[in-house]
A and B are shown apart, each in its own frame.
Chain A
Amino acid sequence: MSKVLIIIPAYNEERSIENVIREVKSANSNYDILVINDGSSDNTSKIAKTCGVKVIDLPFNLGIGGAVQTGFIYAKNEYYDIAVQLDGDGQHDSRFIKDLIVLIENQEADMVIGSRFKGNTNYKIPILRKIGMIFFSKFIKILTGLDIKDTTSGFRAVNRRVIEYFSERYPLDYPEVDVIVRLYKKGFKIKEIPVYMNARKYGRSSITPLKAIYYMVKVSFALFINYLRSEKLV
């Protein structure tokens, strides 16, 4: 059986983190859970610790990329075979973790993305997000030929080789779309499977229109640069 680490990046998620941890535990008690507290100013860290899981506290907010990468470095150091990334806000349904892992274990892919678009899922997507998703999906298709619908999904599983790569290189902010092109360029295999996603229960999405525009421009530029990069294939 492969050693699985569930990485949960959390920034001020005191209201949802306990539930998320409990659900992951009930999905499979063999998973090790690691919460990366990304400099939260609330009780996220305390609550996670009382749930009996490992918590790494970052001294200040590194951003989602820096937080998740901490998890990958840990996974590499502790010899995990598979790392699953799951948001701390309860959007991702942990019952689907096994579906992501199966594809990795069968070596059908190096990274598996849980998608809210493939097949029938019950998630209602905010319009702004939808526009962005379609845009990036097309962009990725043009750059790599890959058909990935939910490019910004933070619900993913990776194998040992990708863990090692991510622990070396991982973008600081808005990493989700970015790494798809990076992995593609490195010759890794990426797959997408349908999952259910819950609408976020607590807290609002941090995306405002101005931020959305910045997000689009920044990620597009990063994608373009990645495309130009000629890193040696592994």
Chain B
Amino acid sequence: MVTVYTISIIFTVILLLIIIELVKRNYLKEKYSLFWIFFGILLILFALFPQFTYRLSIALGIKYPPAVLFFLGLLFLIVYNLHLTVMLSQQLERLTRVIQEISILKEFYKEMKEKRRKE
């Protein structure tokens, strides 16, 4: 019988394969891929042991057990997105600094070259 659990196992296996492929092609850094692989394994564990999801749904008072997964998944995505925007802000700050320093150096370099040419 095809249930949400089997679908999620299939989906996760595909996801893991894609992640490995992305790392192989250098599109994804190893240090970030580890996080996604860990996440994928967690998903598989959830799908393999529905009892856990079931118990969790009772504890949280959720009537439809798979909704627990949606709930946790959504929470996770929100937090992770926040983390990404924090990283993006940091990257922007660093990028700006690099551009500024390089532009100043470039000007200095041109000036030096000009001076040398005149000598």
Interface residues of A (CB under 8 A from B): 54-60, 62, 66, 69-70, 73-74, 77, 172
On whether the beta carbons of B96 and A172 are closer than 8 Å, the reply is yes
Asked if B103 lies at the interface with its beta carbon under 8 angstroms from chain A, I say yes
On whether the beta carbons of B107 and A54 are closer than 8 Å, the reply is yes
Asked if B4 lies at the interface with its beta carbon under 8 angstroms from chain A, I say no
On whether the beta carbons of A77 and B107 are closer than 8 Å, the reply is no
> Closest CB-CB distance, A216 to chain B, in whole Å?
22
On whether the beta carbons of B104 and A57 are closer than 8 Å, the reply is no
Kindly report which residue of chain A lies nearest to residue B92, judged by CB atoms.
A172
Residue count of chain B within 8 Å CB distance of chain A = 10
Tell me the residues in window 74-119 of chain B with beta carbons closer than 8 Å to chain A beta carbons: 92, 96, 99-104, 106-107
List of A residues within 8 angstroms of B96 by Cβ? 62, 66, 69, 172
List of A residues within 8 angstroms of B107 by Cβ? 54-57
> Closest CB-CB distance, A72 to chain B, in whole Å?
9
On whether the beta carbons of A70 and B104 are closer than 8 Å, the reply is yes
A4 and B22 alpha carbons, distance in the complex (Å): 53
On whether the beta carbons of B100 and A70 are closer than 8 Å, the reply is yes
> Closest CB-CB distance, A100 to chain B, in whole Å?
24
List of A residues within 8 angstroms of B102 by Cβ? 59
What are 6 A-to-B residue pairs whose CB atoms are below 8 Å? A56-B106, A59-B103, A62-B100, A69-B100, A73-B101, A77-B104
On whether the beta carbons of A73 and B100 are closer than 8 Å, the reply is yes
> Closest CB-CB distance, B92 to chain A, in whole Å?
8
Q: Which of A56, A59, A60 contacts B104 (CB 8 A)?
A: A56
> Closest CB-CB distance, B65 to chain A, in whole Å?
41
> Closest CB-CB distance, A170 to chain B, in whole Å?
10
By CB atoms of chain A within 10 A, which of B99, B101, B103, B107 has the most? B103
A60 and B95 alpha carbons, distance in the complex (Å): 12
> Closest CB-CB distance, B67 to chain A, in whole Å?
35
Closest 6 CB pairs of A and B: A70-B100, A56-B107, A56-B103, A66-B96, A58-B103, A74-B104
List of A residues within 8 angstroms of B101 by Cβ? 73
A172 and B99 alpha carbons, distance in the complex (Å): 13
By CB atoms of chain A within 10 A, which of B99, B104, B106 has the most? B104
List of B residues within 8 angstroms of A59 by Cβ? 99, 102-103
List of A residues within 8 angstroms of B106 by Cβ? 56-57
List of B residues within 8 angstroms of A57 by Cβ? 103, 106-107
A172 and B92 alpha carbons, distance in the complex (Å): 10
A174 and B92 alpha carbons, distance in the complex (Å): 16
> Closest CB-CB distance, A136 to chain B, in whole Å?
24
List of B residues within 8 angstroms of A77 by Cβ? 104
A77 and B106 alpha carbons, distance in the complex (Å): 14
List of B residues within 8 angstroms of A74 by Cβ? 104
> Closest CB-CB distance, A168 to chain B, in whole Å?
10
On whether the beta carbons of A66 and B104 are closer than 8 Å, the reply is no
List of B residues within 8 angstroms of A172 by Cβ? 92, 96
> Closest CB-CB distance, A64 to chain B, in whole Å?
12
A77 and B92 alpha carbons, distance in the complex (Å): 23
